[in-house]
Chains A and B, each alone.
Chain A
Amino acid sequence: MAKQIIDKNLQRPKKSKAARRNLFNGLLFASPWILGFIVFTVYAISASLYYSFCRYDILTPPHWIGMKNYTRLLTDDVIFMHSLWNTMYMVIFGLPIGLVLSLALSLLLNIKVKGISIYRAIFYIPTLVPAVALATLWMWLLNTDIGLVNVLLSKIGIAGPGWLNDPAWAKPALIMMGLWGIGGSSIIYLAGLQNIPDHLYEAAELDGANSYHKLRHVTLPMLSPIIFFNLIMGLIGSFQYFTQVYIMTNGGPQDSTLFYALYLFNRAFVDLKMGYASAMAWILFAITLVCTLLVFKTSAKWVYYEGHTNE
């Protein structure tokens, strides 16, 4: 007993020395991130919050004006509301279409046929096209008079709309362009599909399930965490949508493609209203947070995690 106590006392300084060394090494190895976190996250968030209550043109020091930026944004800025609506339009229409079609495509890409890996590569390649090149190419494809899209439509007897020149069609045009890149999320779904154990399908077949039943009661529940992941990522992405519209339409025609991120950028770096733009950034943050929390809240009902059910 006494010996044990002595041993313990002897060991303690040694142990704490090792612990101290681990702490030192741990912080040392993590120091690049810690430094970046302090400057680019902690400081930047605080400064951004402060600016959002200021008039700030970056050339002169910020000047405190209280809630004015926020009240003006929420009560007195028609263009802001318009940009918010444009972005919601993409969330409400573009996001679900993309999710359903990329899921459908992943089911197709999961069929075991010869050359399937070539098909997978083909559908993935459009996601690699740099945003600026993508925008340039689609401006050409969507050209009203001689663009390939309208040429093909006219072959089947449809007079194509003015796409990027028509306020009613500019957003659908961008959604269509986005569908060219759904292969990226299909590949993520595919990884999930391949993790579904065969015995689940075999068991379902024994119970007399047809293809629809298997999709509805095995595939979709097993994929739900990935659907959830893609939904959240898509939601965040919709609010950040910038480069393509900056190049293709710069918000036009008639502000029909003036999305949130583009309006924020213009306010900040064209009009030098940095305080105003910071307030916009915080509203954006709040909206994405609320949307994400809503999705999280409902997720308990439809997202299935292995090992977390039947209890």
Chain B
Amino acid sequence: MSKGHSSSKRNQTILSHIVLSSLSLLCLLPFYWLVATSLKADMQVHAMPPVWFPHPIVWENYPKAMVYIPFLHYMKNTIVICVSSVIGTVLSCSLVAYSFSKIKWPGRDALFVLVLATLMLPGQVTMIPVFAIFRWLGWIGSYKPLIVPCFLGNAFYIFLLRQFFMSIPQELSDAAKVDGATEFSIYRMIILPLSKPALITVGLFTFIGAWNDFLGPLLYLNDDTKYTLSLGLQQFVGQHGQEWQLLMAAAVVMVVPIILIFIFAQNWFVKGIALTGIKG
């Protein structure tokens, strides 16, 4: 009886492995096809039936794609925007979250409800006036519309960091206050060092968000020397729509850094998702 039970358990394990691994393969197949196409000669791309393993492997697709559109230059532009966004977001959101979690002031909690309410506001409602403001400031065509708002906080990350700060015992701040510490030094010397996991998570998500952003650069960048990878790839699709091996090579260049970040920073992602889960 017990033997039967354990063998049915084993069967179940084997079954789950079969289901999971076949679904995983299905999930990875588009990635395989992306990379395989990027390494094929033009003839093999259009071959019917399709060629599963590129032969010969055409590495030249990559330098060729990089020449058609100055991808390395666009990557540099993208990194400039990403890094500035990360600095701005982490700095502003941590300051604001500190105010909403560690300082007691009248009206604080009412204002925090407003922070959450802005999460429900569709971006389309504010898109046009915000565009008009940046146009009035003469910022169209520069990175300022993409970077400056990051220094003014982000509702979701403020929420996330506030949750985290609230889990830090109040006694730590109180003890420092008795010793005459100012709010800023408590923020700087106690709260920030203890919140590294949450700050790294916010930084990672901001980086990836800025890397992937399309609408922002589309609205505000009009000079193609300032383009980001998103805009460059979109332009590439428009100009070389049928040269799939080159398009895929360009897409690989855009995807790989993000996947590398994910692999190296997996734990931070897990933590971040757990923090998101609080919301659910």
Give the B-binding residues of A (Cβ under 8 A): 19, 22-23, 25-30, 32-37, 39-41, 43-45, 47-48, 51, 58, 105, 108-109, 111, 113, 116, 119, 121-126, 128-133, 135-141, 143, 145-146, 148, 151, 180, 183, 187-188, 191-192, 195, 225-226, 228-230, 236, 239-240, 242-243, 246-247, 261, 264, 268-269, 274, 277-278, 280-282, 284-285, 288-289, 292
Once the chains bind, are B219 and A285 in contact (CB under 8 Å)? no
Tell me if B's interface is mostly helix, strand, loop or mixed: helix
Nearest 3 A/B pairs, CB to CB:
A36-B152, A26-B105, A29-B99
Once the chains bind, are A133 and B118 in contact (CB under 8 Å)? no
**How does the 8 Å CB contact mask read for B235-270 relative to A, with 1 for contact and 0 for none?**
001000000100110110011001100100010010
Contacts of B234 in A (CB 8 A): 132, 247
Distance of A148 Cα from B67 Cα, bound (Å) = 27
Once the chains bind, are A58 and B135 in contact (CB under 8 Å)? yes
Interface status of B104 (Cβ within 8 A of chain A)? yes
**How does the 8 Å CB contact mask read for B129-152 relative to A, with 1 for contact and 0 for none?**
111110100000000000001011
Once the chains bind, are A40 and B152 in contact (CB under 8 Å)? yes
Interface status of B95 (Cβ within 8 A of chain A)? yes
Once the chains bind, are B215 and A242 in contact (CB under 8 Å)? yes
Contacts of A124 in B (CB 8 A): 262, 269
Once the chains bind, are B126 and A285 in contact (CB under 8 Å)? no
Distance of A293 Cα from B148 Cα, bound (Å) = 34
Task: Give the nearest-CB partner of B148 in chain A.
Answer: A36
Distance of A138 Cα from B23 Cα, bound (Å) = 18
Distance of A246 Cα from B233 Cα, bound (Å) = 13
Contacts of A125 in B (CB 8 A): 27, 31, 259, 262
Known: A28-B99, A137-B34. 17 other contacts (CB 8 A): A26-B105, A32-B95, A39-B133, A44-B125, A45-B126, A116-B20, A119-B20, A122-B27, A123-B24, A125-B27, A125-B31, A126-B30, A132-B212, A136-B233, A140-B33, A151-B49, A264-B124
Q: How far is the CB of B129 from chain A (nearest CB, A)?
A: 4
Task: Give the nearest-CB partner of B105 in chain A.
Answer: A26
Distance of A230 Cα from B120 Cα, bound (Å) = 14
Contacts of B276 in A (CB 8 A): 188, 191
Pick from B11-19, B56-64, B166-174, B194-202 the stretch touching chain A. B11-19
Interface status of B178 (Cβ within 8 A of chain A)? no
Interface status of B46 (Cβ within 8 A of chain A)? yes
Interface status of B211 (Cβ within 8 A of chain A)? yes
Task: List 23 interface pairs A-B (beta carbons < 8 Å), by A numbering.
Answer: A22-B104, A23-B106, A25-B105, A26-B99, A30-B95, A30-B99, A33-B153, A36-B152, A39-B133, A43-B133, A45-B129, A51-B129, A58-B135, A111-B16, A119-B24, A130-B214, A136-B251, A140-B248, A180-B30, A191-B277, A246-B218, A281-B124, A289-B120
Once the chains bind, are A130 and B108 in contact (CB under 8 Å)? no
Once the chains bind, are A128 and B259 in contact (CB under 8 Å)? yes
Distance of A141 Cα from B30 Cα, bound (Å) = 8
Known: A29-B95, A37-B118, A292-B120. A188 touches B277 (CB 8 A): yes
Q: Which of B37-72 contact A (CB under 8 A)?
A: 37, 45-46, 48-50
Distance of A286 Cα from B146 Cα, bound (Å) = 28
Once the chains bind, are B128 and A188 in contact (CB under 8 Å)? no
Contacts of B190 in A (CB 8 A): none
Known: A123-B24, A240-B122, A247-B234. A137 touches B251 (CB 8 A): yes
Once the chains bind, are B280 and A141 in contact (CB under 8 Å)? no
Once the chains bind, are B251 and A133 in contact (CB under 8 Å)? yes
Contacts of A192 in B (CB 8 A): 277, 280
Once the chains bind, are B125 and A281 in contact (CB under 8 Å)? yes
Task: Give the nearest-CB partner of B100 in chain A.
Answer: A30
Known: A33-B115, A180-B30, A191-B280. A132 touches B214 (CB 8 A): yes
Interface status of B121 (Cβ within 8 A of chain A)? yes
Once the chains bind, are A22 and B103 in contact (CB under 8 Å)? yes
Interface status of B158 (Cβ within 8 A of chain A)? yes
